[in-house]
Amino acid sequence: MKFKIKFADQIVGLFILISLVAFSGIIIIMGINQRWFAKNYYFKSEFNSSASIAPGTGIQMRGFQIGKIDKVTLNDENKVDVEFYIYDTYYHKVKKSSLLELSVSPIGLGSALLFHPGREGDVLEEWSFIPTADSIEGQSIIEQELADIPVKDDTITRLLSNVNPVLENVNRTLVAVTRTLTEVNRAISGQGSGPLTGIIGDINDATSKLPATMDNVNSVVDSVDEVVIGVQDRVAVLLDQVEELLQATQTTVANVNGITGNLEETTDALRDPTGLIPKLLDPQGSLKTILDDDDALFNRIISITDDVERSVRNIQQIISSLNSEVPKIASVLNETKSAIEKAQDVLEGVKNNPLIRGGVPERAVQESLYNSMREGSFDE
């Protein structure tokens, strides 16, 4: 026996219709929630990086999502072009001097793209350019307080946002120090082009010229030694000549003293009335005998007088020679003194020169390769 339901086709069709209506209602509700049937207004902006601004990223304003990012591209100036849209229910807030701000959590809790509406002005047309808060135009808008930017209550975020510029300054300082150290290393290695490289090159040149300078100093010292030795020899010769002159003067003075003594004795003999004069004046005395010797005594006296006169002239010449040599001796002694002082200054300068670390090396004494016969022993 067959079982039949009356109006079965109608009931199935009704269920299908109800299902379609329900499905359509669900689709419509989902579309309404997804804003399939609402109008979106598109705008443009520019960022330095595409980090945290991928397509589909929501745009927040006071905690409400008012739009999304639609497209992100890299332009020819290595900037990031962003196309985003604002819901029609918030389109009236997109006024002149509006800003976009990418807020990144410093402790790694995510990021958010914030929209700050302008305080005054007309509503912007679709596809208008909206600057970012970190751009030059955005900074100008913030300084003039043309955008409605809420006060951030997150103390940690504010402190960490202040730390970020400090870290950037530290990073730039470290980069500058690194570059400076690199330049210093290049200058020390002789590869740089700055003044420090020139100084290092001058030091290297001075160091390379130091042996030649030492040779010149040694030659100067040798020349000073030769000058001192020559002066000493000359002084020794002059002293010998002075000693000979003094000895000759002493001999001449002794002769003069002897002649003076003889004259005194002769004068005493002439004063004695019983002495030589009466005997000489006696007609039978020696005077007559002497006077009758064909001028032999007279000639003898004349020769003695000539000898005395020559001796006196020699004494005068010796004295004048001594007088003329005394300034020369004094000048030679002064020159010797100044030469010795200059030699001492030169030796002191050489000793105090910081470039000469080892000082002037002492001259090595060459020992004789052959022993003298006197050094041997004659003991058998």
pLDDT number for residue 310: 82
Strand ordering across the sheet containing 58-61? 40-47, 80-87, 64-74, 58-61, 111-116, 99-104
User: In which residue ranges of the chain is pLDDT below 50?
Assistant: 1, 3, 369-370, 372-374, 378, 380
Residue-wise burial string across 106-143, b where 16 or more C-beta atoms lie within 10 A, e elsewhere: eeeeeebbbbbbbbeeebbeeeeebbbbebeebeebbe
* Pairwise CA distance, residues 353 & 359, whole Å: 8
pTM (predicted TM-score): 0.36
pLDDT number for residue 289: 62
pLDDT number for residue 52: 81
pLDDT number for residue 94: 92
* Inter-residue contact 44 to 128 (CB < 8 Å): yes
Calculate the average pLDDT of the chain: 76
Closest to 190 (Cα-Cα) out of 173, 208, 175: 208
Closest to 67 (Cα-Cα) out of 48, 96, 49, 45: 45
Closest to 91 (Cα-Cα) out of 57, 34, 41: 41
* Pairwise CA distance, residues 45 & 134, whole Å: 12
